[in-house]
Structure formats: structure tokens, C-alpha cells
Amino acid sequence: MPDVVHESVFNLQFPFTRTLGSTLSTFFSALAQGQIIGVRTGGRVIAPPLEYDPDTAADSGTDYVKVGPKGTVSAWTWVPEPTHLHTIKNPFAFAFITLDGADTAMIHLVDAGSESAMKPGMRVEATFKPVDERVGRIDDILAFVPAADPAPSAGAGESWDAPAEPEISTQDSYCDLVYVDNTSASTLLWMESLLAGKLVGQKCPVCSRTFVGPRGMCCVDAIELDETNVVDVPDRGVITNFTVITPVQYPGQLETEPFARCSILLDGTDAVMAQQSILDIPADQVRVGMHVAAVWVPEAERDVSEIGNRGWGSGGDCISGWRHTGQPDEPEENYLERMM
């Protein structure tokens, strides 16, 4: 195969709501009011507060104190090219900042204007979002900026009385993670075969098992497999197991009715293709032993951009699903010996 590095990008995105617990509810409720707090425990002030003392694992209690809004940078790293996930778009630093009145450092953004302005020991102060835009999240603090006056923060270290019922008890968040892999040689083989409208596997020269799609290894004999071990396999097989999913409605969910995801053992192979869609059959009529055949997307519409190293046997946007062939069901003893 050509010696070309190909990247596979996997983007994991989902919204979620977390319950905060009493300590973080208190912290974020105070933050929405423009006040940063810590908790006094074990003879020191931890900020942001933790529910437990990290040295003793004892309950930190509720002896809350005011900290900041100024602090001192102890260490930092520069971010020259912010991504869409960062709250400010110009270059900035992530820094450890020990707030006035605290004994531990917190991590936050420092908008210093340039990398040359950053240095350990520099004094910074928090800048907050406008009151009507605060929701009780850590990004209610837009960033820290070089302090106009390096003098200690007024009121830092004073006690802070927590309300009996914090205003904020949950937090809406959004996960957006991007994984970038160098696509393996076996995955590239699989991509090429799908675009060509055929399925391939790799046959182990020791145990003679055939794995679909190519995995680059035999997990039984622990040997490497390469393009010399590639074999063509049919696009027909048997459903060996399946799961019926009742869709939960969340942002991005396209399914509205229960659907099945199946593992299919292709004829003459030993490892199933998992998470396959079945066409034209209600989920409650899918069963093991059914003979199915791949339904290919038209050649001009095939796309492998969503295929990566993380899903052996994924058909990407090349196989639209699998359709029952009408043949009698396969006896279970003929497909009991299989691998995932």
C-alpha cells in the first residue's frame, strides 16, 4: 500500500445535565452573583471548594470564605490557536492561579494580550460576564486579565454565608470531543473495498479464521496481518444476535420508532460485523438465523469519511443496510462458533 498518512476524525457530541451536590451548588450560585468562594478545611482554604479534604478524605464542611477576585499566576501554558470550544477567540493562556485568600490554585484562562506578557508571579484579576448573562458556570468568569492594581483583594479570606438552599443545583453541559487518529493500514483497506462495492477480510495463516473488516491482527494467535492476508468475502450472511433500541429523544436523534442493530456473520467468515441496520422489517420481527444481504449505496454516493479505527466492520455510508433474502433461517448450530 502507498506510504501515506491518512487521518480519521471521530467527533463525540452530546448534551447532558449534571446534578452539582451541595458544595458545587453553593460555589456556582455564588459565582452567578460575581463572588468566588473557597472552603476552609484542614487548616487551609481550597478554592474552588471540594466536598472532601484531598489529604484526609474527610468532609470539607461548610466553612466558606471569599477568595479573589485577584490572584497570582504560578504556572501557565500558551494557547496560540483557540478552537470553537474555547470561550475567547484570541490567543490566551491556561494558568494555575492562586486567588487571594486561597491556598490552592485553580485553572482558568488568562487573556494577557500576548505570550510575552505571561510570567509566574504576575497578578491577575477576574472579569465576569454581565449579570444577566451569568448562569452559574465556570465560564461566568470570562477570563483573568493583568490586574490594574496588584494590591490584595478587598475582603479576601472573610467568611461567606451560604444560603440554606443554593439557587443553582443542576448544570447543563455539552460534550464535544474530537479524536484524530492516523488511520491504520487495515482500515484503509476496508475503506477502499467499500468504495469499490465489495467486502474483504483478513485470514490468519495460523488458525485460518477470517476477520471482517480487516483488523491488522489475529486476536487468537496474536500475530500481525497485512495486505497479503486479505481475502474477498461475500456480502451475505446470517444474523447471530441483535438488540432492539427504543429511541430516546435528544438533540440530533433522528429515529422515532424502535429499531434493531444486528451482528451479522458473513458466509465463510468467523468474526461478525456488528451494529448493522436491517431494512424493511419491523424491529419486533428481527430474529437470529435470518439470512440477509447487503444493500449498497450507489457508487457515486458512497462515503467513508465516518469510518475510522474504532469500528471494525462499519459500512459507513456505503451500505445502507441489510435486507432479508427470504431463505429459510439458518440452524443455530451453524453459527454458534463466532467472534466479535
3-state secondary structure 35-94: CEEEEEECCEEECCCCCECCCCCCECCCCEEEECCEEEEEEEEEECCCCCCCCCCCCEEE
Predicted pLDDT at 214: 81
What pLDDT does residue 250 have?
Answer: 77
Per-residue H/E/C for 100-140: CCCCCEEEEEECCCCHHHCCCCCEEEEEECCHHHCCCCHHH
Residues 6+ apart with CB under 8 A from 326: 291
Reply yes or no on whether the pLDDT at 149 is more than 80.
Answer: yes
More confident: 197 or 307: 197
Cα atoms in the 13 Å half-sphere on the side-chain side of 191: 17
C-alpha cell at 256: 422515532
pTM over 0.75: no
Tens-digit pLDDT profile for residues 126-143: 999 999 999 999 999 999
The pLDDT of residue 4 is 52
pLDDT top residue among 19 and 316: 19
Average confidence (pLDDT) over 103-110: 98
Helices (H) and strands (E) counted in the chain, each on its own, are 2, 20
Residue 7 pLDDT level (bands cut at 50, 70, 90): confident
At 312, the pLDDT band (50, 70, 90 cuts) reads low
Task: Please state the rounded mean pLDDT for residues 166-171.
Answer: 93
> What's the whole-number mean pLDDT along residues 306-335?
89
| 237 or 247, higher pLDDT | 237
Confidence at 306, pLDDT banded by 50, 70, 90: confident
Please calculate the CA angle 260-265-270 and round it to the nearest 5 degrees.
145
**What mean pLDDT do residues 203-215 have?**
92
pLDDT of residue 29: 96
pLDDT at residue 1, rounded to an integer: 43
Task: Decide if pLDDT at 2 tops 50.
Answer: no
Q: With 60 as the cut, is the pLDDT of residue 39 above it?
A: yes
Is the pLDDT confidence value at 252 over 60? yes
Averaged pLDDT for residues 205-223: 92
pLDDT mean over 272-295 = 95
Q: Please give the pLDDT value at position 3.
A: 53
Residue 18 falls in which region: left (phi positive, over 0), alpha (psi -120 to 50) or beta: beta
Lowest mean pLDDT among 78-82, 84-88, 281-285, 322-326: 84-88
Q: Which three cell numbers stand for residue 23?
A: 458544595
**Residue 269 pLDDT greater than 80, yes or no:** yes
